[in-house]
Structure 1
Amino acid sequence: MARYAQSERRLLADLLLAVGPDAPTLCQGWTTRDLAAHLVMRERRPDAAAGILLGPLRGHSERVREALAARSYPELVGMVRAAPWWSPVSNPLADAAANTLEFFIHHEDVRRGQPGWRPRELPREQQEALWRRARGTARLALRRVRAAVRIQAPGYGEATAGSGGDQVRLVGSPGELAIFLSGRQRAARVQVDGAPELAAFLRTAKLGV
């Protein structure tokens, strides 16, 4: 639901201001300033946002992100907070689909990058929204895993992904599974069951879109 994309956006903007521009995040090598610049680029520079997924455009994407990161930090966070209505990924028709998972994960990137963090208790409706999107991205996220991965979110459902073979079971709440499947395995509170070598591989494999 769009309201969860919007509430996570507000919470993230508040946290970005609270921790400052140089705080660590779960995004390797990125501070909070870098992460804020990424989000602004994704929404406001479609020409550069394509480089997030397309290798040949990655250099242009990085140059734009670095230019945005050079702006004043309060201005940058203000741009994160105020979604542009015209953006391909944050207009009212696209917001829920494009941002429910995006802003939840990046909010957790900042939360879990700080010492002493704890998992949040999320409303059931938000967990349901996260499960729908995590389940939908699981096949792509696990495409490199040479095993049949059974993903279970007790009380919400299950899905199967991976490329077949021996089975590994991944169990957790929808929010924790979403974090795991986005490539942030070390920060996710998820249970992994299966052959030790497969479980170890899944915990360290490059996941995500």
Structure 2
Amino acid sequence: MTRHAQSERLQLCDELDRLGPDRPTLCEGWDTRDLAAHLVIREGRPDLAVGNLVPFLAGRLEREQRRMALGDYTALVARVRQGAPAWNPMSNPKVDELTNLVEYFVHLEDVRRAQPGWEPRELPDALQGKLWSALKRSARLMFRKSATGIVLIGEGQGRHAAKLPDQHGTVILRGTPAELVLYAYGRKDVARVELEGDADDIAALQQAELGIS
């Protein structure tokens, strides 16, 4: 089995090592050290990661993540590179592929596209197909706050009706699966996606908060 999630993880770690701890990312308020700390907590500290879901624990998560981010950066990136601990189901290659592919793809692009002079990567068809499958599974959640209907057309993959229209009509999004994933996960400003529809509907979609939050 080709481990695309593992490949994206390693490329992200290479980029984090190359750039150092204080470079910007597309994650608001986070530089590269903060992103690395987030990934370590996500896979290795469920007692802290629960703060993403439980509001009264969010402060503890933020404090501990910042403390970790201010530690040894090289060691922090090495922990991300090692992957999830053995007790975490994400250490299983199949679970890793299912739960981490989009996570590491998006965060690699969060780092790459926050730097000057970036260009989209040429991704293999197999990876584009995996991203398309993942997007179809999550699209309803990602676009739930949009007042428009959503139809996704993935280059080389077909189309997927992600959401019925609400207060507005339907907007068609065209692009490679990789670019559509970035748009769906709220990276609208850097996602190279074509939007088709009524101007008011497109404006409403552009203003909508997309992604998990």
Shared fold, TM over 0.5:
yes
Residue identity matched to 2:72: S
Number of the residue aligned with 1:79: 79
1:187 to partner: Cα distance: 0.8
Q: Which residue of 2 aligns with 1:29?
A: 29
User: Is this contact kept in 2: 1:90–1:98, CA < 8 A?
Assistant: no
The structure-2 alpha-carbon separation of the partners of 1:142 and 1:54, relative to structure 1 and needing over 3 Å to count, comes to: farther
Is 1:132 paired with 2:129? no
Counterpart of 1:147?
A: 148
**Among candidates 178, 186, 189, match of residue 186 of structure 1:** 189
**Structure 1 136/121 Cα, relative in aligned 2: closer, same or farther at 3 Å?**
same
Between 18-27 and 199-208, the greater mean CA deviation after superposition: 199-208
Q: Judging changes above 3 Å, is the alpha-carbon distance between structure 1 residues 99 and 175 closer, same or farther for their aligned structure 2 residues?
A: same
Matched, 1:167 2:170: yes
Deviation of 1:85 after TM superposition, in Å, equals 2.8
Partner in structure 1 of residue 209 of structure 2: 206
Which residue matches 1:119? 120
- Is 1:158 the equivalent of 2:138? no
Does residue 69 (structure 1) correspond to residue 69 (structure 2)? The answer is yes
Q: How far is 1:46 from its partner?
A: 0.9
TM-score with structure 2 setting the length = 0.92
Cα contact 1:85–1:92 (8 A) shared by 2: no
**Structure 1 residue 163 displacement after superposition:** 4.3
SS in structure 2 of the partner of residue 36 of structure 1: helix
- Corresponding residue for 2:103? 102
TM-score of the pair, normalised by structure 1: 0.94
Indicate if the aligned counterparts of 2:17 and 2:77 stay in contact, CA closer than 8 A.
Answer: yes
Matched residue count:
209
- In the alignment, is the contact (CA less than 8 A) between 1:149 and 1:167 conserved in 2? yes
Deviation at 1:65, TM superposition (A): 1.1
CA contact (8 A) 2:175 2:192 kept: yes
- Whether contact under 8 Å (2:153, 2:173) holds in the other structure is yes
Cα distance change on mapping 1:89 and 1:56 into 2, 3 Å: farther
Residue 17 of structure 1 is matched in structure 2 by 17
- State how far apart, in whole Å, the 2-side matches of 1:89 and 1:144 are: 29
TM-superposed CA distance for 1:197, in Å, is 2.1
Secondary structure of the 2:189 match is helix
- Structure 2 distance, partners of 1:103, 1:147, is 28
> Which deviates the most, 190-199 or 177-186?
190-199
- Following TM superposition, by how much is the alpha carbon of 1:2 offset from its aligned partner in structure 2, in angstroms? 5.8
Question: Distance between the aligned counterparts of 2:131 and 2:32, measured in 1?
Answer: 23
- CA distance 1:135–1:54, shift in 2 (3 Å): farther
Q: Work out whether residues 17 and 77 of structure 1, in 8 Å CA contact, stay in contact via their aligned partners in 2.
A: yes
The alpha-carbon distance between structure 1 residues 160 and 103, as it changes in their structure 2 partners (threshold 3 A), is: same
Secondary structure of residue in 1 paired with 2:90: coil
Q: CA deviation at 1:99?
A: 0.6
Name 1:41's counterpart in structure 2.
41
The amino acid across from 1:15 in the alignment is: E
Gaps of 5+ in 1: none
Q: Which moved more, 1:126-135 or 1:59-68?
A: 59-68
Counterpart in the other structure of 1:176: 179
